[in-house]
Amino acid sequence: MPVVRSPEAVTHEIHGARFVSYATPLTGSGELCAWRGEIPAGTRAPAHTVSREEIFHLLVGELLITLDGRTERVRAGDTVIVNAGSNLGVENPTEHTAISWVTTSVGLTAELADGSRITPPWAN
């Protein structure tokens, strides 16, 4: 039975945020990836278009989520469904770190506004 203990999770940092990876093919998952996102106070991640659906659940804090040009204030307990092909922006305008739990399918990529692509290791 694959069990990923908290100390075994792999941490990645990009654009001022931290991604703590639990479920990937490297840890035994065949189809899904899951990670904890930590978005520090004042962080604004660059907008990006996702290649696969993501389910973004906010565990702690508040964020401004912009999805295809529409911005919503999201609070702890809220879930945002990000469909494949959507343009996503995440901002933490508060003074506290926000913590999220995100799932997607294996193979997610993200395209930034400048056309560059990211293949996040926490989602592949």
Which CATH number is 20's domain given?
2.60.120.10
Q: Give the residue ranges of the chain where pLDDT is below 50.
A: none
Domain count, the chain: 1
Residue 79, in any domain of the structure:
yes
The pLDDT, as a whole number, for residue 93 is 97
Rounded distance, CA 91 to CA 88, Å?
10
- Which residue matches tokens 């106070």? 41
- The residue type found at 109 is T
The pLDDT, as a whole number, for residue 89 is 97
The pLDDT, as a whole number, for residue 2 is 85
> Domain span at residue 79?
8-123
29 φ, ψ (degrees, to nearest 5): -90, 130
